[in-house]
Amino acid sequence: LKNFLHKKNFSDEFLSKTGLFSQNYPDISFFSDRLMFPIFDRRGQCVAMGGRILHPQSEKDSKYLNSRELPHYSKKNILYAFNFAKEKMRLEKAAVICEGYMDCIAYHQCGITNAVATCGTALTEEHVKLIARTTENGTVYLSFDSDGAGQAATKKSILLCRKLGLTVRIVRLTGGKDPAEI
Task: Tell me the pLDDT of the chain (182 aa) as tens digits.
Answer: 999 999 999 999 999 888 888 888 888 888 989 999 999 999 999 999 999 999 988 888 888 888 888 888 999 999 999 999 999 999 999 999 999 899 999 999 999 999 999 987 899 999 999 999 999 999 999 999 888 888 999 999 999 999 999 999 999 888 888 888 88
Residues in the chain: 182
**Are 61 and 103 contacting, i.e. CB atoms less than 8 angstroms apart?**
no
pTM of the model: 0.89
Which helix H or strand E contains 79, and what residues bound it?
strand 79-80
| CA-closest candidate to residue 104, choices 81, 132, 134 | 81
- Cα-flanking dihedrals φ and ψ of residue 139, to 5°? -115, 140
At 144 the pLDDT is 92
Packing angle of the helix pair 125-135, 148-163 (nearest 10 deg): 60
